[in-house]
Each structure stands twice: as structure tokens, then as C-alpha cells.
Amino acid sequence: MQERLSEIQNQAKEDLAKAESLEEVERVKTKYLGRKAGVINEIVKAIPSLPPEQRANSGKSANKLKQEIGTWIEERKSEFNTSAEVSLTLPSLDVSQPGEHKSYGHRHPIVQTIDEIKGIFKKLCFDIEYGPEVEHEYYNFDALNIPADHPSREDFDTFYLGNPPGPIRAGKRLLRSQTSTVQIRVMEKKKPPIRMIAPGKVFRPDTVDARHASMFHQIEGLMVDEGVSFGDLKYVLTLFAQSYFGQDIKMRFRPSFFPFTEPSAEIDISCSICKGKGCSVCSHSGWVEVLGAGMVDPNVFETVGYDAEKYTGFAFGLGVERLTMLKYGIDNIRLFFENDLRFLSQF
């Protein structure tokens, strides 16, 4: 019996050494350890017919061999498993192939302009603030000294939203039509001195044409302190325009009116698309209005609880699409929102 077992041991070793694949190892396993016709099982079945004094020892030896063969099989299997992984990964790497170009996309031109303007004002120590796009009438109109009968409050100039059930807190809900709302929200929270800009989307039911869209972007500016003058406003805006467009930029201040600033001005930039000759973007005037500005009206200071005798300030609001159009010579605002990659990928 012992002889037969050591024969089996040698044979199994040999068979396993010859096996060249996982399937062949499996075959060796079935041959020796198979439940039905496995070599070891056949031996075990024969034990009861041995003389009684041999039975116990033979049983032990057969069991030991069974375990031994089992361990060898597992060892051989693990060799094939790792080499199988290697053979799977190797052929896919062909170092002679040219590299694949992956396109990651980039920021939208409007976002690029906003980021550039944020950078300019950060250098002038202005904070960046944000306010909600869904606003209350109070922040969009009342607190900005805009009277109840002002035409900009009409339905055809403002997108009103249905109010949620419950008490109306600060007037009707609407999509903000200007970023001036953020002036109020910041002054409610902070005491002077204030230097901030607030970029964001605004919404107006305008008829869409080359210069108008029903959603566009503004950047609001506000500086409040003791002794802030119109000269400071002009200085900051000139510095800004020169940083954004270059030293040669032409600017023009026109007297205007906004309920929340007094005095007020509209500021035009010479049309870079037609070089001042006249085109559809500048309504054939050679100038494009890009900014509204002025000195903060004392009524606004009173509303937010600032001492209007002590503090003065300036505010401005600029149109981001207009500035981008002028800088890059884009003659139609709709291009920004049509998601045409032939246009967008140029930036």
C-alpha cells in the first residue's frame, strides 16, 4: 500500500509539472482528487479490504497525500492566474501607436470674462459677493428707491414668479432684473467701508436681437466709505476699462438717471467692431453702452441703516456680454447661448 501511495505521489508531481494551462491543472485535480473516480478515492475505498493492522496507517498516509496533492494544485493554479493577467494587459499596450488626443473642454467665454474682471477688481481690493437669482420685489425695487409706479416694475419688463403659499415677506417673487439687489443684501449685512463686486445672471423679457437676450450677465460694483467721490468712480472705471481693453480705450460719460444713484451716468465704450464707423452692434453710433453708474442715493443708505451724512459711495453695473462682444469683435449676443462648439472652441 505504502509503495502504491508513493507511486501516486511521484506521478501526481510529474503530471502537475507537465500541465501547461489552468485547464490542464483542473484535469490533474479531477484525476487525483475527483470524488467519483479520483485515484485517491479509489485507494481509500480499498482500505477496508486490507488486513486490519494496515488499515489505520494506510488511511492516514492516503489522507496526507490527498492534502499534499491539493496544496500543489493550488500552487500551480496561482502561477497560471497571475500569468493570465499579464497576458491580458500586455497586448493592449502598443508603444508604437501614436498618442490619443483627449479634449477636456474649457470655460465658457462669458465665464472667462467674469473671471478676468474679478481678477482686475481683486487687485483693487474689492471683495466678490453673490446674491440669489430668484429675488423679492423688495431687493429688486423698493430698497433701491424704485417707486411703486416705475415702468421697470411692469410685467413686460420683469419676470414675476408665482408666490409660494403663506405670508408674502418682501413683496412678490421675481427673477432679478439687475444685480443691484446684491448692493442691498451686502449693506444689510456689513458696515462701511465696503468695496465689492457681484457677478451674476439677470433676466428681462426683452425681445431677442443682436444685442439683447432675456438672460444675460452683469457685474455690480459698490464702494462706500467716508469721503468717496464721483472722481473715485471715474478713476476706478477708467482703470478697469484700461486693464480690460488696453490703454487706448475711449470712454464717454453721459448724464443719466437711476433711482438708486444721484447723480447718475451711462458710460459708453468706442465700438471696437466697426472702429467707430457705425454697425448693428453700436446702432450705427460708434459707441456702445456698457455701464450704468452713479453716487449711491442717500435714500438707499437710509433704507439699509447707514448714516447718509457720514458716508458716501458709488455704484456701477456693467454688462458682461457687451464687454466680451466688444473685446473679441462678436456681432451677435445669441452666439453665446446657442452652444455651437464651432464658436465656443475659439476661446
Which residues lie near ligand PHE (CB under 6 A)? 178, 180, 258, 261, 292-294, 315-317
Cell numbers describing residue 76: 500551480
Q: Which long-range contacts (CB under 8 A, 24 or more apart) does 10-14 make?
A: 12/39, 12/69, 12/72, 13/72
* 203/245 with CB nearer ligand PHE: 203
* 29/204 with CB nearer ligand PHE: 204
Residue nearest to ligand PHE (CB): 317
* 12/300 with CB nearer ligand PHE: 300
CB of 294 to ligand PHE, least distance (A): 5
In DSSP notation, 222-290 reads EEEETT--HHHHHHHHHHHHHHHH-TT--EEEEEEEETTEEEEEEEEEE-TTTTTS--TTTTTSSEEEE
What gap in Å lies between CA 143 and CA 159, rounded to an integer? 18
* 171/294 with CB nearer ligand PHE: 294
* Closest by CA position to 128, among listed 206, 34, 200: 200
CB of 293 to ligand PHE, least distance (A): 5
* 72/216 with CB nearer ligand PHE: 216
- ∠ CA 48-50-51, nearest 5°, is 115
- ∠ CA 332-128-134, nearest 5°, is 65
CB of 92 to ligand PHE, least distance (A): 57
262 annotated to a ligand binding site: yes
CB of 260 to ligand PHE, least distance (A): 6
CB of 315 to ligand PHE, least distance (A): 4
Output phi, psi for 258, to 5 deg.
-135, 140
CB 224 within 8 A of CB 193: yes
Residue at 167: amino acid letter? P
CB of 169 to ligand PHE, least distance (A): 23
3-class DSSP assignment, residue 194: strand
DSSP secondary structure code for residue 160 in this structure: B
* 216/336 with CB nearer ligand PHE: 216
Binding residues for Mg(2+), by number, are 262
Binding residues, by number, are 262
